Amino acid sequence: MSSLWISNVRVIDPACGRDAAGDLFAVDGKIVPDLSSEQRQKAQKIDGSGLVACPGLVDIHVHLREPGQTHKETILTGSQAAAAGGFTSVVCMPNTSPVADTAGTIQFIKDIVQRDAVVKVYPTGCITVGQKGQALAPIGSLKRAGVVAITDDGDCVQNNELMRRAVEYAKMFDLPVMDHCQDTALTHGAVMNEGVMSTRLGLRGWPNCAEDVIVSRNVILSTYTGAHIHLQHISSRNAVEIIRRAKNRGVKITAEATPHHIALTDAALATYDTNFKMNPPLRTEADREEIIAGLRDGTLDCIATDHAPHTDYEKDKEFDFAPNGILGSETALAISLETLVRHHGFKLSHVIDLMTRRPANILHLPAGTLAPGTAADICLFDPEESWTYDAKAGFSKSSNSPWHGRQLKGRVKMTLVDGNVVYDRGAIRAAKP
């Protein structure tokens, strides 16, 4: 039996209510309460002095681009970037080429994951055939193939009747529906938040109401059907209040926020830097503060990165024509700590909860805890270490990050999957066993 002993570490496990200095043990890839004398003698020992050990971070919204868009990212490089960011479980979106709307494509993705991924990767399937919003994908077949949710991420289903049928079928198969909330009739040609800054820059504005309308639609459909709908990357202060009222009524809605929407505003676009262009767009300070308030009071359930790699030559275009999206995996923890803990007084354990137990629970993933008997998926980080992020030297195949060259505080030192070190102080140590 292989045994692991992480000593002198601050263990934070919100799922078990643990936040104390101590030791952490694992045998054969599973967390155990303690080791025998013999096991301690043979254990792989890691000195955790000055570090925090928490459950491996869980990201329920990433774009790994494979199959078909491997010039941007692959499952190998995306999972390595995730490991460098402390993530041990990630959920990949289906907007690949071809899109993941059949059991065959899902199996193809799972085969690549088994071969290449250094962390645990869970696939999602499409809501509609081809992500075109016209006909339902074979939801039952996708479920049997192993998807953990369905979503047309990036292409919100505009037909309300079709969306109603989708959530009804998904409920039958106990599948959450993840929705990118955007009324496209209100965003035609839009490239940034509608407001003072868009007027000043001469760019087509994207109003909050484009998100608010679909959030309201999904609240109504969840109320009507009893289905679980998860709202992706909330950016509008009005949407936060709609979700808050729905939750107070017991509606089966969950929602996520991204590190970039809690840390940045549309003022960052003043230089027309396309690394700040994303969907939904960066909004105002009032929106940012309300998103943070939503994370504080539980209206928003978790943090997810929306890691969206694009090549330099794709981003290096006029602002109107550059694609939306930024990298997120390697900087998510540091940005969340800086914004929520240092600037807004969140407890460290609260932020860890938002990135471990809560996202895992939304999609029923076997992750997010260090309880005895669970997988030894562990993130070790130094909350006080300052470092400069170099996106071009990162593990992602792309480098489209607004934090390139910026000094951050809080750094992942080691990531373990099933008790095996996969990332160690800047280097990928081994493939997932």
Residue that has been written with the tokens 């030791």 in this structure: 23
Q: What angle do CA 287, 291, 294 make, to 5 degrees?
A: 140
Tell me, what DSSP letter sits at residue 267?
Answer: G
As a whole number of angstroms, the distance between CA 75 and CA 80 comes to 8
As a whole number of angstroms, the distance between CA 332 and CA 350 comes to 15
Across 2-28, b (16+ Cβ under 10 Å) vs e yields ebbbbeebbbbbbbbebbeeeebbbbe
HSE, side-chain direction, 13 A CA sphere, residue 315: 22
Q: Reply yes or no on whether 28 is catalytic.
A: no
- The CA-based diameter of the chain, rounded to the nearest angstrom, is 70
As a whole number of angstroms, the distance between CA 208 and CA 223 comes to 23
As a whole number of angstroms, the distance between CA 150 and CA 239 comes to 22
Q: Which two tokens stand for residue 383?
A: 């909350």
Burial class (CB in 10 A: 0-12, 13-18, 19+), 355: buried
Contact 191, 319 (CB under 8 A): yes
Closest CA to 150 of 165, 410, 291: 165
Given the residues 155, 287, 306, 353, select the one marked as catalytic. 306
Task: Give Cα 269 to chain centroid, integer Å.
Answer: 23
Q: Which two tokens stand for residue 141?
A: 């077949």
As a whole number of angstroms, the distance between CA 237 and CA 290 comes to 5
As a whole number of angstroms, the distance between CA 292 and CA 338 comes to 13
Catalytic residues: 306
